[in-house]
Amino acid sequence: MFEKVLIANRGEVALRIHRACKEMGIQTVAVHSTADNDAMHVRLADESVCIGPPPASQSYLNIPAIISAAIIANADAIHPGYGFLSEDANFAAIVEEHGFTFIGPSPDHMRIMGDKIAAKAAMVDAGVPVVPGSKDALTDMQSARNMAEEIGYPVLLKAAGGGGGRGMKIVERPDELAAAFSAARSEAAAYFGNDTIYMEKFLTGPRHIEIQVMGDSFGNAISMGERDCSLQRRHQKVLEEAGSPALNDDQRDSISKISRTAVENLGYSGAGTLEFLFQDGEFYFIEMNTRLQVEHPVTEMVTGIDIVREQIMVADGAALSLRQEDITISGHAIECRINAESPIDFTPSPGLITDYHPPGGLGVRVDSGLYSGYRVPSSYDSLVSKLIVHGATRNECLMRLRRSLEEYVIGGIETTIPLLQRVIVDPDFINGDYDIGWLEKFVEAEE
């Protein structure tokens, strides 16, 4: 087993990985920018190395600095967390070339899934249903026009190298296509350094359902059930549930099995997530994330499986510790993402935390690096805490969530807690009756 793991990330996910390592008797090395000198992940790690100034491009994305830190600290393996370099196949390859283990899938699998066109093609081959649309890159207007006619408007133009919900263009009518086509290409180039775009049928009221999977290097694969991540703002997830209030057991079992079989067919090793849109009883694959997801805790709560521990074991060459028949889903779990932002207009709200009191009690988990006296830097993503509740039923979860959000004190900055409090008492939400467009409408109606 590894003796020392370097955690190439910050914030709550760096802490999450640190905790798994400690329970496994593994030493941890934190890396950090100068903006994070006092961050909790740095304080708790056994060792820490400063890798650069605040901008992520010079620190958390600085591959030479991270590799140097791993050499100095004599680490065995590197866990990338999520975001930053976690889906960078070149980084994974460089890590391996330097004699460290990358805690994640092979660079080849990362490359395929990092190109959404290639990912969809691989999934079609593996027997997974995908959103109707172009099978290749769209390079000219004529083929875009033909494809749109074939699948029918509205259509969505997406970047092959896209992520983070950015760079998507909805096209409602044929006369909007030309302008959207060139805008999508230039945005793709600007955001992702790659102007390759493709087209999908735009689904008008789907839910976002994803399946947590895990494979090992012996060809075994498991599915750990679904998460419903339909509560989104600007295509970014805000609240996630396991299981989905929208699925019946047949639908649940069927998509779980399809996903597990795909992972087996692909020979994929490590943790991953297959993301689907679900509408009118049908699932449509949109992408696969080849890393730990922000929302992995809801799956952990209902399965009792420590996903980070499994990632580390599998990367170390062990077989999965569980077979599919060992996995049972117990109760329901909900995660809320708490951002350092105005709950009204979502402007970032970094600054000094003057008071901090997280909720606790039965079925409550808080994954956060916040503490009283900590200063939330302005240089990074605004996610500062994840509140996760687990209960025997969805109703029990909702009660627990309501009282936990009431208890949670984060003083000194604005957070999205008040918005979450309003959402979870809305009758639609209570009934589980929401699609990916619901939250945007809820926020607009409040303005």
Binding flag, residue 302, ligand ADP (CB under 6 A): no
Residues in binding contact with ligand ADP, number by CB under 6 A = 20
Binding flag, residue 171, ligand ADP (CB under 6 A): no
Annotated catalytic residue: which of 111, 252, 260, 291?
291
Phi then psi for residue 58, to 5 deg, are -105, 0
Could you give the maximum distance between any two Cα atoms of the chain, in Å? 61
Instruction: Tell me how far apart the terminal alpha carbons of the chain are, to the nearest angstrom.
Output: 54
Smaller CB separation from ligand ADP, 131 or 258:
131
- Residues 208 and 191: beta-carbon distance below 8 Å: no
Residue where the block lists tokens 């409040």:
446
Q: From CA 126, how far away is CA 373, in angstroms rounded?
A: 51
Q: Where does this chain touch ligand ADP (CB under 6 A) — which range of 3-11, 182-190, 199-207, 320-328?
A: 199-207
Q: Where does this chain touch ligand ADP (CB under 6 A) — which range of 94-102, 162-170, 211-219, 363-371?
A: 162-170
- Residues 13 and 19: beta-carbon distance below 8 Å: no
Minimum distance from CB of 137 to ligand ADP (Å)?
16
Binding flag, residue 197, ligand ADP (CB under 6 A): no
Minimum distance from CB of 212 to ligand ADP (Å)?
15
Beta-carbon contacts of 93 under 8 Å, excluding residues fewer than 6 positions away, are: 107
The one among 128, 156, 333, 387 contacting ligand ADP by CB under 6 A = 156
The one among 195, 264, 275, 426 contacting ligand ADP by CB under 6 A = 275
Q: How many CB atoms lie within 10 A of CB 444?
A: 8
The one among 14, 30, 56, 131 contacting ligand ADP by CB under 6 A = 131
Q: Give me the DSSP letters along 158-175.
A: EETT--TT-S-EEE-SGG
Binding flag, residue 442, ligand ADP (CB under 6 A): no
Residue 309 falls in the annotated catalytic set: no
Tokens of 312: 């580390």
Binding flag, residue 436, ligand ADP (CB under 6 A): yes
The one among 45, 203, 238, 333 contacting ligand ADP by CB under 6 A = 203
- Residue 397's identity, in one-letter code, is C
Interior/surface letters 74-103, b for 16+ CB within 10 angstroms, e for the rest? ebbbbbbbbbbbbbbbebbbbbeeeebbbb
Binding flag, residue 163, ligand ADP (CB under 6 A): yes
Q: Where does this chain touch ligand ADP (CB under 6 A) — which range of 15-23, 143-151, 163-171, 294-302?
A: 163-171
Per CB under 6 A, residues contacting ligand ADP are 131, 156, 162-166, 200-203, 206, 208, 232, 235, 275, 277, 286-287, 436
Q: Which residues are designated catalytic? A: 291
